[in-house]
Every structure is written in structure tokens, then in C-alpha cells.
């Protein structure tokens, strides 16, 4: 993994939001939404040192553009978004360490990550968002805010889980915010909306109108209905 610094933003004790594509692309969509709404500016980029796959375009191949951006507003650092995660453990750990290094450089005291929470519960278009933390003390603080905490013991894999481990090891308070979803194979815009609302409550930030997410969810629903309708006709 290679890292390139574009500019040096004037930041002091920002909140960090760091997440990558995962189940239902919840982490990626949420980060991209926040960047768009806050008109954030890129100041650093991480790039894969070598390709871990190629794209067959049909008779010829192209190379993937594997890079992930650090962007900022006046009091936030946003990392990730886009598509994909590194294909190797080494790549994921390299990104996690760099996020922690950036957190220390700008004296960030709090790191959020985001992702999907796979459940069999019938969501009825109203997924909940569950939160976990890097300490029992932080857990107790959030419980007082009537935040839904993760209901049982489980493993959180990939960047959106491992980054919390890095935060804990480096004495940075970390909060994982995970939106419910039933189908991890399709974009989950309602889970993203639920996460955005929870993030606004936790960070005292406003990320703007979310009606676009409702519309995108409706379009996905229509596509899935057509798909299954055609499937049953066969």
C-alpha cells in the first residue's frame, strides 16, 4: 500500500469516520453520501502497490483503480468509501495503521466506522442501527442516549471491524455503527439512512436531506421485484 499526501489541512481534534465497502455496500455508500453532502476536500490518498485482480472487459483486460481517499471538512476526517476493500490481510492492516497514524497526527479523540448488520428479522423497510464501542465506559455513556447497542456476541470482520481493534490498541475511542439488512448482495440504502440518522445523533452533525436514499431504495425494490417476477414466470 502506498500513501500520497496532497495537502496539509488545518485540523485540530477532528472526529474521524472511516469505512469501506462491505455487506450491501453500506459503509461505502454512507461515506460517499457524507462526502457529497459536506463537500469535503481530498487531502490524502491510499493506493494499492500492485493489482490483486484484473478486470476482463471481454477479450481484453483492464487494471482496477484501487485507491481510497482521505477527505475533510472543518472538523471531520472521512476515509474510505468508493468500491472494494484490499484483497489481502496485509492491505487491510496497512490501511488501518495509516488511519490510526492520521488520527494521532491531528489529535483525533474519536473514530467512527460503519457497516452492515446481517439479520433474519423482517425489517419492513425500517432497519435499526446497532452500535458497539471500544470500551465498557463508552458503552455505558451511549446507553444513556437510548442508542440500540449490538444485541449479542459476534465477530466483525474486514476493515469496518478491524479498525475498531486498532483504535482500542492505540487508546483512541472507537464506535462501530451498523445498519440492519436482510440481503447483503444488493445495495442497502435504507440501512444507510438509518446509520446517517444515528450518526447525526452521536456526532451533533447534520448531513442533509436523505430523501435521495429513499428514492434509490425504491428503485432497488422495483428491480428486485422485476427480477423475481421474471424468475417465477420461467
Looking at the 3D structure of the chain, how many domains does it have? 1
Look at residue 180 and tell me if it is in a domain: yes
Look at residue 233 and tell me if it is in a domain: no
Look at residue 234 and tell me if it is in a domain: no
Q: Is the dihedral of CA 45, 47, 53, 56 positive or negative?
A: positive
pLDDT score for 232 = 47
Tell me the CATH number at 50: 3.40.50.10900
Express each pLDDT in 129-188 by its tens digit: 999 999 999 999 998 888 999 988 888 889 999 999 999 999 999 999 999 999 998 999
For the beta carbon of residue 105, count every other beta carbon within 10 angstroms: 11
Look at residue 140 and tell me if it is in a domain: yes
Look at residue 45 and tell me if it is in a domain: yes
Look at residue 193 and tell me if it is in a domain: yes
- Segments forming the whole domain that contains residue 112: 2-226
How far is residue 151 from each of residues 57, 126, 132, 180, measured CA to CA in Å? 44, 17, 9, 12
Could you give the CA distance from residue 232 to residue 220 in angstroms, rounded to a whole number? 18
Which residue numbers in the chain have pLDDT < 70?
227-234
Look at residue 145 and tell me if it is in a domain: yes
**Residue listed under C-alpha cell 446507553:** 143
pLDDT score for 231 = 53
For the beta carbon of residue 161, count every other beta carbon within 10 angstroms: 18
Look at residue 232 and tell me if it is in a domain: no
Could you give the CA distance from residue 224 to residue 9 in angstroms, rounded to a whole number? 43
pLDDT score for 222 = 87
Amino acid at each position: 500500500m502506498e500513501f500520497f499526501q496532497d495537502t496539509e489541512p488545518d485540523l485540530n481534534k477532528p472526529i474521524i469516520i472511516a469505512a469501506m465497502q462491505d455487506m450491501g455496500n453500506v459503509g461505502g455508500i454512507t461515506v460517499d453520501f457524507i462526502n457529497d453532502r459536506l463537500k469535503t476536500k481530498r487531502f490524502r490518498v491510499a493506493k494499492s502497490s500492485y493489482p490483486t485482480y484484473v478486470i476482463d472487459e471481454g477479450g481484453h483486460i483492464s487494471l482496477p483503480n484501487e485507491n481510497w481517499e482521505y477527505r475533510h471538512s472543518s472538523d471531520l476526517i472521512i476515509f474510505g468509501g468508493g468500491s472494494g476493500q484490499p484483497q489481502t490481510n496485509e492491505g487491510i492492516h496497512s490501511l488501518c495503521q495509516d488511519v490510526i497514524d492520521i488520527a494521532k497526527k491531528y489529535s483525533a479523540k474519536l473514530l467512527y466506522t460503519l457497516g452492515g448488520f446481517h439479520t433474519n428479522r423482517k425489517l419492513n423497510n425500517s432497519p435499526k442501527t446497532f452500535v458497539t464501542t471500544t470500551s465498557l465506559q463508552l458503552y455505558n455513556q451511549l446507553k444513556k442516549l437510548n442508542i440500540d447497542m449490538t444485541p449479542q456476541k459476534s465477530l466483525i470482520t474486514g476493515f469496518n471491524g478491524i479498525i475498531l481493534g486498532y483504535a482500542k490498541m492505540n487508546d483512541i475511542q472507537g464506535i462501530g455503527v451498523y445498519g440492519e439488512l436482510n440481503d447483503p448482495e444488493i445495495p442497502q440504502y435504507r440501512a444507510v439512512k438509518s446509520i446517517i440518522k444515528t450518526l447525526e445523533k452521536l456526532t451533533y452533525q447534520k448531513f442533509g436531506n436523505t430523501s435521495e436514499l429513499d428514492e434509490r431504495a425504491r428503485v432497488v425494490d422495483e428491480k428486485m421485484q422485476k427480477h423475481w417476477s421474471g424468475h417465477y414466470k420461467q
